[in-house]
Amino acid sequence: MNTIELEPSVLEPAVSLAKTKAVEKPFSILKRFEEFAESQKDKRLAWFMISLLAQSVLVLPVPAALMYYFNAPIWVLAITVSLFFANIVAGMSGSKISVLMALIAITTVVHIAMIMTFVL
């Protein structure tokens, strides 16, 4: 008659699990951003169009308003135009989606900082 032979580790799963150490993964915003960007790889054209529309509607009027109403210097316009054309070049040249998304974030943060600097 055949008998079933089991290893001792199968009979004692709690003991074998107690001997293993839990590996904690450090929380990394950069790693999460890279994972999200990789998941959006097939939607690259949509991200490019969203960034162009958002910048042309929300960002390009910012230097005009700041210069006209709050007497902002000319470098505000230079920064805005530089970031706008950097976004166009990054989108049309075939750069990675993470670069395009980082440019969107940088442009947003820079313009919010400029608005807060001159308005407040």
Residue 1 lies in a domain: no
Residue 93 lies in a domain: yes
Better-scored residue on pLDDT, 21 or 81: 81
First to last CA, the chain: 88
Q: Which domain holds residue 103?
A: 8-119
Rounded mean pLDDT of 91-99? 89
How far is Cα 97 from Cα 72, in angstroms, rounded to an integer?
A: 33
pLDDT digits (tens, 9 = 90+) for 22-78: 666 777 888 898 888 889 889 988 989 988 998 889 999 999 999 999 999 999 999
Residue 89 lies in a domain: yes
87 confidence band (pLDDT: 50, 70, 90): very high
Number of domains in the chain: 1
pTM for this one?
0.72
DSSP states of 33-79: HHHHHHHTGGGHHHHHHHHHHHIIIIITHHHHHHHHHS---THHHHH
- What tokens does 109 get? 């943060």
Residue 39 lies in a domain: yes
Residue 87 lies in a domain: yes
Residue 106 lies in a domain: yes
Residue 22 per-residue DSSP state: P
